[in-house]
Structure 1
Amino acid sequence: MSQKRPSEDVELVSDRRPSAPKPTRTRACVECKKHKIKCEPVAGEEKCAKCLRSGADCIPYNLNQRLHEEDVTWKANATAEIAQLRAAVQRLLRHGHLPDLGSFSEPSPANVISPANAVSEHGIPTAMVVPPMDMTRENSQERDLDDESGLVTAPMRSLYDLTRIRNLRTSTRWNPTASSIDEDFIAQGIISASEAEELFTRWKEKHHQYLWAGMLMAHQTLDAVRRHSSLLTAAVLTVAAVHSPGQNDLLQRCYNAFVSLAYSTSLSRVHSLDDIRALCLAAFYLSNLSWKLSGLAVRNAVEMNLHQAFHKLMRGHSEQRDNVRLWYACYVLEHQFSIAYGRPPLMHEDTAVKNIEAFLDSPLTTSGDVRLCAQVALFKVLTEAYMAYGSDPEQPLSEPDFQQLRVFNFAIEQWRLAWQPRSADSHSIGSYPSKGVVLYYHFARFQLNSLALRALPAPSAASSESLSYDRREAANIAISAATSTLTLIFEEPDLRRALPGVPIFTHTMVAFCATFLLKMAKTWGGVAQAASPEWTTEPLGLGLNFNISQVLSLSRRSANLLARVAENLNEKHLTRHIVAGIRELLKHFDATETPASNGAHALAPANVNGVVGQQQVDFANNYNMYDLIGSYGFGFDETFLGQAASSDFDLWPS
């Protein structure tokens, strides 16, 4: 057998190769995919072997087609589920006597706002989600005669009984509105969780106890506050940020969140007790919102029938005790700022205010209850004085008015004797409760008796009318009380330690007293200097026990003390502006003290730059007693108090 040549082997192998490549498919067709078999292409044919045998169309399988089919199936199922849910919701609405589902409108995404974008860079709302004006009627058209408590009902109740319009019915739900932690402004990242925890801790450690042993904050953790009220959460964090130095950006973010939520709840028909606590808390500490928030808190409290809580408590409903506490807190808040602004109060002396001893006569009474009721009793007296004397800056007190003024002074004396021993010291804030009673006592005496100087004619060197004995007596009490207010703060360490954490009303006490004394020295001292160029202790028939050296010293010490307090506060805290205001007034006086002979505390002249100048006389000629004492109130929104400018918070003044 002959051997083949290598070339012959190559030729035979070459002959066994196919003449044309076998067609391939990148993916199976629909039919083969459906039957889960291998899709075999056929040379020269557009169809695969399976489709050729069966005569079916050979369509390549498309993944998008599968997604489309699955999408159709999902939408069909979702449509069925939505229809089922709508039916269930409609049934629940009918069962709860609520409007049909069709009466609710869904806001478009463009109109939905969150605390992050609720206010513009100037603090003004950029958009608001306005709910529809609901004039729907209750499902039941029959009057519920079983609910009638008598023949005499409120007019709105009668109108509701007649029309059955839902929005005419006052909401009396007292259960707190649940707030989802997953949806609040912290969850949205406006305030980080770590920042919120730090601010909440600061609040608990430095401010919590000063408002009647924490009465306005019953929750112990940040998570608990967030679950109960986003508004209260924002209020606490904002107040804490106001007391955090060097945290302007954090303060602005907290403030924006609070303002956004406050706008949203201002016209809401459903509120919680924690929402009212939030409004009170913010009003005590945010100067530019205090007046608006205090009024809103009172109206919301009345809408929730807190004014009826005392009667229910006296009938044995012990769960109403917290509601009575909140009603008292609203009373104190609203009367503080009514006095501060010189405006009439909204809340009157109701049964709860008249019977605070009945509220305290309980084994459940706390130290915070005593401190709160002490404030209620004090502002009850001051409100009576407001009603008696009004706030007209051009209406001087007549001589018969001073007899009633003595009655008010006696009531203030009795108030101190009754409440100072009952205000027990605290482990966390020391003697602040009892010393705070003394501080408010001096301030109340000052405020009442300063009315003796209201609307007096401008003093002048040529004509200086003598003050009557009664008017001079009251004016001297005012001077003494203002001096005692400032002195007490310097001498009591617990009061000095409390200054950074107390509400702004206490800071304005210092501001008002210092301002009053300085303007007294400037105005009446200028008259004394112009009338007698020589240093003299002669009171010029005025008989006022006034020492300019002491006034200047106390005012400087007040400004320095508040300046040290302001170092631990944010730049937008009211205290910084009070310091600037006092120091501006001090510029009119020389640093050296004026002499006083024989140790007498007589009205001595002011010496500007060591020279008897025309400036004092000009000041007297431009005399304005309203600018001096601010009518009955102390002009909380007047410039001489150094209130923070509205631009500090990018919000218009309240």
Structure 2
Amino acid sequence: MPALKRPHIGFEAALGRRIDSLKISKVRACSECKRQKIKCEIKTGEPSCTRCIKKGHRCVVNNELHQFIEESHEWKSYCVSQLEQVRAAVHDLLRRNEMPDLSSYATHHRSPSIMEPGAPQAAAVIDHTNSSSAMAMTRENSQEPTLEESELVAAPMRSLYEVTKLRNLRSNLNSVSNGVSPSSDLEQDLISRGCVTLDEAEMLFSVYSLTINQFLWGGIAMVHPDLESVRRSSSMLTAAILAVAALHIPNNTDLLNTCYKEFVSLVSLSTLNRYHTLDDIRALTIGAFWLSDLSWKLSGRAVSIATEISLHQCVRKMLKGDMSQYQGAQVWYLLYVLDHQFSTAYGRPPIIREDVAIRNFKTFLECPESSQRDIRLIAQVTLFAILSKAYDLFGSDTDQEISEDSLLRIREFNVELDRWRLHWQPQHLVSPYVGSYPSKGVALHYHFAKFQVNSLSLRSITPSAKLSTDRKEAADMAISSAIATLNMVLEEPDIRNSIVGVNLYTHAMVAFSTVFLLKIAWNWKATSLNVDQAQVYNLVERIITLMSGVKASEKHITFHIANGLRRMMTHLRERECKRIEIQTDGIEDKVADKETACLDFGIFDENWNDFGNVMDIFDFLQPGNWPSD
């Protein structure tokens, strides 16, 4: 009799086979019959085979592997049944609470480390990636159109949703809340994973909450009372707060890199998420206000999410009496300021335009929940509404000279800015955390704005041009405003002491004012403009001393500003010495006009008075990529 063919069965973990894919024949012969290679016959009702009874042997059937497989199938069937019950229960709970469908929540699937023999491990990873990112075309539970209840005139995508009932076409209006972010995982955040100890996290949270947070209009972007509350609400907000706080602590580079990488990772993972909360948006705004290399990207992402969840409708609903939309409206105003600050800083058009929400800010301030920090925020909103009108009127073309007729409009903007300061500065009270900074900050931003608007009078104008009386008046106003900006930073204690904690826009405008004055003092000192070169150089040296002496991480923007200005001053003094030598030798006429009129700084060119193009002017404002190790 030919030998029975047995399948080649090795240890499952070594072979990497799944149990349910094994095809193994059931063992029927006992051990003795199998050893003798004879037929094993078992009569009905007998416990042993005929030969074992006759010979007096113990009849043993070796069927352990088959029993193991059967037990494995039973166990897996039981687990699948239990999982289906849990899934059904969760689905019912989500439906009853009008929460997103279970399929919208992120999963942390670990790909099996053991693959089928001959199949590359990458194939399993690719298969998982493809399955998790498959295009979802799931419909709502109620699939019948409701023409009687639908709006007659609505957004086109809303009508498409009404027809198809596809979940992914519907705006997630329920996410306009301060609830828990779907991506928040307390057990998997950087603290639970041990990347940052709890003591370190508490220290960083305290630094941010008591100091840095207060500079952002009384802490309007972080409303949680403690670290535990932040962690339970949004892992992204937690990482943003810790990263920004670490940026302001000296000799803590490793901790900063850890928190920074965690924040960047969470932002990247959230890119394609459909469901977000207000705290997710707050996390992006906090990162944008302080992390220089991410500011523009985070600002745009925050505005995109806000419009996706219809945050711009909150103020409109408040106008109709729904005061429950207060937090959503507050975040929308915060985004308006963020968007316009960085559109000014980068010289790019803003995304959020002036609409009914911006024009009806008084309704927001009349809300019972409104406080001093809302006054500080709305003051910024109204300021950038004025600057936006200037941007729309004059544009950002650096080659376009402002006409003489347009100089009258600059004078009108000056009047608007004067009124703005008179209206808002008295309403800013002393803060227990940052002293008189709120009130002094209004004056500082007033000087920023006056400098920015009046500097347009010199756009595309050469130092050799003859200036009209009106143009000279505006240019002198720009110079005096830039000097007033630096004097406030140097002389006002509450401004000087807060220079390390203020957001990136303030640093950019201080740097812009400084470079403007340096260029005026060098290129325009022979003109009739009201500029004192010695005074300018003295102010710049003092700004360098202030910026280089702050206590913060070496990656903080103030150190890069100080180093950049120091290089400029060194280059200026070297050129001044060469100019004096040339004059002494009596060959001044041989110096090329362009060489003396425009310094070869790379950033000292004719486009110095670009409207608000602050960030692109200074390469030292972009300190490079953050370490990846």
TM-score if structure 2 supplies the norm length? 0.80
1:434 maps onto 2:439 in alignment: yes
1:555 to 540, 546, 558: 540
Q: Give deviations 1:266-316, integer Å, cap 9, x for gaps.
A: 221110000000011110001111111111111111122211111222333
Q: Is 87-96 or 568-577 further displaced after alignment?
A: 87-96
Partners of 2:289 and 2:325 in 1: how far apart? 24
Please name the residue that 1:578 is paired with.
Answer: 561
Per the alignment, residue 118 of structure 2 pairs with none
Mapped to 2, the partners of 1:214 and 1:387 lie a distance apart of 31
Aligned to 1:5: none
Secondary structure of 2:242 counterpart: helix
Partner Cα distance (2:481, 2:105) in 1: 60
Give the structure 2 partner of residue 478 of structure 1. Answer: 478
Amino acid paired to 1:286? L
Residue segments in structure 2 that go unaligned for 5+ positions in a row: 1-51, 114-128
1:632 aligns with 2:611: yes
Question: Residues 84 and 480 of structure 1: is their aligned pair in 2 closer, same or farther, counting only changes over 3 Å?
Answer: closer
The letter for the 2-side match of 1:264 is L
Larger Rg: 1
Name 2:284's counterpart in structure 1: 279
Q: 1:612 to 1:411 in 2, by over 3 A?
A: farther
CA distance in 2, matches of 1:65, 1:137: 44
1:411-450 deviations in Å (ceiling 9; x for gaps): 0111111111111111111100000001011111101111
Q: Name the CA shift for 1:364/1:487 in 2 (closer, same or farther; >3 Å).
A: same
| Structure 1 counterpart of 2:396 | 391
Q: Is the 8 A contact 1:454 1:625 kept in 2?
A: no
State the aligned residue count: 551
Deviations 1:134-178 (A, max 9, x none): 1333343322235423x2111111222233322211111224225
Aligned 8 A contact 2:458 2:609 in 1: no
1:331 to 326, 329, 336: 336
Contact 1:99 1:136 (8 Å CA) reproduced: no
Question: Which consecutive unaligned segments of at least 5 residues does structure 1 have?
Answer: 1-50, 113-126, 529-541, 592-604
1:646 Cα deviation from its structure 2 partner: 2.6
1:647 aligned counterpart, secondary structure? coil
Report SS of the residue matched to 1:203.
helix
Question: In structure 2, do the counterparts of structure 1 residues 202 and 66 end up closer, same or farther at CA, with 3 Å as the change threshold?
Answer: farther
Provide TM-score, normalisation by structure 1. 0.77
1:97–1:138 contact (8 Å) kept in structure 2: no
Compare 615-624 and 241-250 and name the one that shifted more.
615-624
For residues 210-243 of structure 1, what are the alpha-carbon distances to aligned partners after superposition, in whole Å with 9 as ceiling and x for unaligned?
1111111111111110100011001101101111
Correspondent of 1:346 among 348, 351, 374: 351
Matched, 1:375 2:391: no
1:258 aligned residue (259, 263, 270) = 263
Counterpart amino acid of residue 554 in structure 1: L
The separation in 1 between residues aligned to 2:103 and 2:297, in whole angstroms, is: 36
Aligned in 2, Cα 1:102/1:341: closer, same or farther, shift over 3 Å? closer
Cα gap change, 1:88/1:444 in structure 2, threshold over 3 Å: closer, same or farther?
closer
What is the one-letter code of the residue matched to 1:508? Answer: A
For residues 438-479 of structure 1, give each alpha carbon's deviation from its aligned partner in whole angstroms, at most 9, with x where no partner exists: 10111111011111111113x3xxxx3321111111100000
- 2:366 maps to 361
Structure 2 residue identity aligned to 1:549: A
**Shift in alpha-carbon separation, 1:322–1:419, aligned structure 2, 3 A:** same
Determine the structure 2 residue equivalent to 1:152: 153
Query: 1:51-90 alignment to 2 at 5 Å?
Result: 57=58, 74-85=75-86
* Counterpart residue type for residue 465 of structure 1: A
Q: Which position in structure 2 is the counterpart of 1:467?
A: 467
For the residues of structure 2 that align with 1:136 and 1:73, how far apart are their CA atoms? Answer: 32
Residue 529 of structure 2 corresponds to 544
CA distance in 1, matches of 2:417, 2:400: 24
Matches within 5 A, 1:222-241: 222-241=227-246
Aligned partner of 1:561: which letter?
L
Instruction: Indicate if the aligned counterparts of 2:204 and 2:242 stay in contact, CA closer than 8 A.
Output: yes
Contact 1:97 1:139 (C-alpha < 8 Å) held by counterparts: no
Q: 2:133 aligns with which of 124, 131, 134?
A: 131
Q: Which residue of 1 aligns with 2:32?
A: none
| Contact in 1 for aligned 2:599/2:605 (Cα 8 Å) | no
Report what 1:168 is aligned to.
169
Is the aligned partner of 1:310 residue 2:312? no
Q: Is it true that 1:268 corresponds to 2:273 in the alignment?
A: yes
Q: 1:587 aligns with which of 562, 566, 570?
A: 570
